[in-house]
Amino acid sequence: SAVISQKPSRDICQRGTSLTIQCQVDSQVTMMFWYRQQPGQSLTLIATANQGSEATYESGFVIDKFPISRPNLTFSTLTVSNMSPEDSSIYLCSVTIPGKGGGYTFGSGTRLTVV
Amino acid sequence: AQSVTQLDSHVSVSEGTPVLLRCNYSSSYSPSLFWYVQHPNKGLQLLLKYTSAATLVKGINGFEAEFKKSETSFHLTKPSAHMSDAAEYFCVVTNDYKLSFGAGTTVTVRA
């Protein structure tokens, strides 16, 4: 399975600022996914990022708030913009490699606290 | 459309006794199903997956799950719980490439 390096692992940010989270994969993947896990909650898909095209956002998430870049097949960033305390969550990236048994690999997550 | 319902938000077992985590799914097409575990302050780890092969799926650390289409269930079991099994468990369904997570089941293991 793929190995994902996600950073930062955690950060404490002031409200109104932005944070960019990076995910680096050790193999080329077509689709990368970004999830949010609010405190004590399950994971919710934010968007799907394909290389060379704009990300596809799920209901309730917009590009202005969560801009995503996907410059190549091994890298993606998610920015949390104009942060408020409600954005305090764990953010995770994920990939799947077709033909590799159908499993999904997750990054270790970024624990964001907005104060 | 797809969704997952984990029937128990908390499960408490004694060490050495069986563990049962219940999951029901809804999917318009033949789904793929997964169980993931999340230990405190750790990332998500895949326990096992069902992708239309054998209905009884064996995973890591002694866990297994059975896919029952007639009951739309994918319950996770382990015959003997260990203290290290204390964690959050997520049942996950997909029929395309988007994952839908259940709300999670917190497992506590009593010594």
Burial A2-41 (b: 16+ CB within 10 A, else e): bebebeeeeeebeeeeebebbbebeeebebbbbbbbeeee
Best probe of the B interface among A45, A104, A105, A113, by most B CBs < 10 A, is A104
B34 vs A104: CB contact, 8 Å cut-off? yes
Per CB-CB distance under 8 Å, the chain A contacts of B32 are: 102
Half-sphere exposure of B4 (CA within 13 A, CB side): 31
Between CA A19 and CA A11 the distance in angstroms is 9
Residue numbers in B near A89 (CB within 8 A): none
Per the CB < 8 Å rule, is A42 touching B98?
A: no
Digit-coded pLDDT (tens) for A62-113: 999 999 999 999 999 999 999 999 999 999 999 987 665 567 899 999 999 9
B81-111 pLDDT per residue, tens: 999 999 999 999 987 888 999 999 999 999 9
Residue of A nearest to B95 (CA): A102
Strands A43-50 and A31-37: antiparallel
Q: For residues A72 and A90, what is the distance between their CA atoms, to the nearest angstrom?
A: 24
Q: Is B64 on the interface with A (CB under 8 A)?
A: no
Report pLDDT digits (tens) over B46-62: 999 998 778 999 999 99
What H or E segment, with its residue span, contains residue A10? Answer: strand A10-13
Expressed in angstroms, the distance from the first to the final Cα of chain A is: 37
Min Cα separation B18/chain A (Å): 25
| Token pair belonging to B38 | 């999340």
